[in-house]
Amino acid sequence: MPKTWWRGAAIYQVYLRSFADGNGDGFGDLAGARARLPYLAELGANAVWLNPWYPSPMADGGYDVADYRDIEPVFGTLAEAEKFIEEAHGLDIRVIIDVVPNHGSDQMAWFVEALAAGPGSPARERFWFRPGRGEKPPNDWQSIFGGPAWTQVPDGEWYLHLFAPEQPDFNWNNADVIEDFHDVLRFWFDRGVDGIRIDSAALLIKDPDAEPDGQDPYTDRDGVHEIYRDWRRVADEYDERILIGEVWLPDQERFARYLRADEMHTAFNFDFLGSPWSPAELRASIERTLATHVPLGAPATWVLSNHDVARPVTRYGRADTSWSNDDRRDGTATDLELGRRRARAAALLAMALPGSVYVYQGEELGLPEVDDIPDELRQDPMWNRSGHTVPGRDGCRVPLPWSGSAPPYGFSTGEPWLPQPAAWKELTTEAQETDPGSMLALYRAGLRIRAECLGDGSLTWLDLGDGVLAFTRESGLTCVVNLGPAPVALPPDREVLLTSGPVDVDGLPADTAAWLR
Ligand code: NOJ
């Protein structure tokens, strides 16, 4: 592979709990994932990103980490993780892991020590412990999952948690915190990990005591960049290891700061992910993205989904096609056929754009969001913390269907931790593998062509009228996406390489994409 493998990579996101279960307990694990590595190679993945695999009480799907240097026993062992890395490398697949530096778990040794050590102790300095204001918490900050961002401990002090109470925030002014995370990065780089996805990357620096200073009290404060300059120095001690930021910031100028040459290599494109199915808005998002990245020499990323957002076939089948975190109540009218057609076109768009592309497990199968998970089985803390008004993110985390005609569809020999819909018998990898019109066939074909002539680089827009996004890449490949209501004629004298749906005599139908050469 070229020296800069990550600039144009196709990166497959594995949500380990729901990918493949190797031991029959109903939870996905490393044994299951190792067995499915050939599937990822066949699909055309250049890298996998695994959500947190560390020991965790699972208050937030593993984003509450109890030990950053080990593996959750439900997932396997450290030795199996090393095997996973080795076997992935053997198939030319790089491995990216999730590091969660904003917060730990209330079960981690440091936090247990801090509770025991009491007010004013150095152990409490690693977190944000404060006295309250009488009966009230130290300030009025609200948790991102709902409810107050402070929880009181028996001795009367309160600690800060921007997410769930089980996820105490670290104090990034503390030398122990800074040094320990450098050590965690080296621990995993030493084991062959190729990249780090940095969770909640813009939130690390905060000051709950500060008077208002014009900056947000905890999002994107200027001091956060010092942390990533240090992390970059650690990554650069190794060959070709990368940092990828989870940076949700609407302001592109602020976002770009994280991609400066001495900070992160890439960051997730949430601007594109959040864009509605509209030619003007998608084009504006693509142009904004390129305008942000090109001057920095950083490659863009193209993301349609992940474990935090509604699945594309569902989102694009709703009246409001933009991403919205709480737009998930049962009963939201959804036209899945329309959504699927658009998701297929969106996939060819994302794969054709210059930079790297992410595929969240199940996206390549066209899985819909599962809207009807029984309330008592919902696990996302958003559900409880919102007083059961926000259903949360379980609907995009349902275990994958691999084979057979009934649950557990080859995912497990036991009962999956979330129930799989009966309709998924048509969406198993087994069912799609033999169907040339399937979503899986489209992703495989798209990623194969992409590996030959797309990825990193630039584009030139073509004008095919309102409602159409069309551009040519350096290799000569042209991508045309029809987002308008009527069919459009394709440019003449070009070979059609791949389309997201049938093309008829009138041209490229609505909500359809084509790749031409
Ligand atoms: C972002 C992760 O993607 C999400 O799943 C998690 O709940 C929060 N960060 C908190 O770690």
Instruction: Give the CATH number of the domain where residue 135 resides.
Output: 3.90.400.10
Q: How far is the CA of 407 from the centre of ligand 1 (A)?
A: 28
Question: How many A from CA of 438 to the centre of ligand 1?
Answer: 31
pLDDT value of residue 224: 98
Q: Is 319 domain-assigned?
A: yes
The alpha carbon of 490 and the centre of ligand 1 are apart by a number of angstroms equal to: 42
Is residue 237 located within the same domain as residue 319?
yes
Residues 314 and 377 in one domain: yes
User: Other C-beta atoms within 10 Å of 465: how many?
Assistant: 12
Ligand 1, from 13, 199, 358, 386: best to mutate by most atoms within 8 Å of Cβ? Answer: 199
Position 507 in a domain: yes
CA–CA dist 390, 477 (Å, integer)? 43
- Is the Cβ atom of 169 under 6 angstroms away from ligand 1? no
Q: Which domain holds residue 43?
A: 5-102+175-442
| Strand (E) or helix (H) holding 473 | strand 468-473
How much distance in Å is there from the Cα of 88 to the middle of ligand 1?
25
**Minimal-distance CA residue to ligand 1 atom 10:** 63
Residue 285 sits at φ, ψ, to 5 deg, of -65, -45
CB 100 less than 6 A from any atom of ligand 1: yes
Kindly state if the Cβ of 380 falls inside 6 Å of ligand 1: no
User: Do residues 223 and 283 both lie within one domain?
Assistant: yes
Give me ligand 1 centre to Cα 64, in Å: 9
| Ligand 1 proximity of 275 Cβ (cutoff 6 Å) | no
Nearest residue by C-alpha to atom 2 in ligand 1: 199
The response to whether residue 75 sits with its C-beta less than 6 Å from ligand 1 reads no
47 has which bridge partners?
11, 94
Q: Say if residue 294 is in the same domain as residue 222.
A: yes
Q: How many domains does the chain have?
A: 3
Which residues does the annotation mark as catalytic? 199, 237
Residues 362 and 389 in one domain: yes
Nearest residue by C-alpha to atom 6 in ligand 1: 63
Q: Cα of 144 to ligand 1 centre, how many Å?
A: 10
Q: What is the CATH number of the domain that holds 252?
A: 3.20.20.80
Clarify whether residues 296 and 416 are in a common domain. yes
Whether the CB-CB separation of 409 and 425 falls below 8 Å is answered with yes
The rounded distance, in Å, linking the Cα atoms of 346 and 76 is 36
| Contact 63 CB / ligand 1 (< 6 Å) | yes
Whole-model pTM? Answer: 0.97
In sequence order, which ranges of 318-472 are alpha helices (DSSP H)?
A: 336-352, 381-385, 429-433, 439-453
Cα 131 from Cα 400, distance rounded (Å): 46
CA distance linking residue 85 with residue 77, whole number of Å? 13
Same domain, 226 and 124: no
**Are 156 and 184 part of one and the same domain?**
no
Residues 67 and 202 both lie in one domain: yes
3-state helix, strand, coil in the chain (%, to 5): 30, 15, 55
Note whether 124 and 249 are same-domain residues. no
pLDDT tens per residue across all 517 residues of the chain: 346 999 999 999 999 999 999 999 999 999 999 999 999 999 999 999 999 999 999 999 999 999 999 999 999 999 999 999 999 999 999 999 999 999 999 999 999 999 999 999 999 999 999 999 999 999 999 999 999 999 999 999 999 999 999 999 999 999 999 999 999 999 999 999 999 999 999 999 999 998 878 889 999 999 999 999 999 999 999 999 999 999 999 999 999 999 999 999 999 999 999 999 999 999 999 999 999 999 999 999 999 999 999 999 999 999 989 886 455 555 678 999 999 999 999 999 999 999 999 999 999 999 999 999 999 999 999 999 889 988 899 999 999 999 999 999 999 999 999 999 999 999 999 999 999 999 999 999 999 999 999 999 999 999 999 999 999 999 999 999 999 999 999 998 899 999 999 998 899 999 999 999 9
Ligand 1 pocket mutation, candidates 200, 219, 268, 380, criterion most atoms within 8 A of CB: 200
In the prediction, which pLDDT does 1 show? 37
Cβ(308) – ligand 1 distance below 6 Å: yes
- Please indicate, yes or no, if residue 325 is contained in any of the structural domains: yes
CA of 309 to the centre of ligand 1 (A): 11
What is the phi-psi region of residue 485: left when phi exceeds 0, alpha when psi lies from -120 to 50, beta otherwise?
alpha
User: Does 481 map to a domain?
Assistant: yes
pLDDT of 328 reads: 55
Ligand 1, residue 308: give the atom nearest the CA: 5
For ligand 1, atom 3, the nearest C-alpha belongs to 308
| Domain co-membership, 235 together with 297 | yes
Whether residue 166 is contained in a domain is answered as no
Q: Which of 382, 413, 442 is the last residue of a domain?
A: 442
- Nearest atom within ligand 1 for CA of residue 163: 10
State whether 136 and 284 are in the same domain: no
* Tokens, residue 48: 């996998």
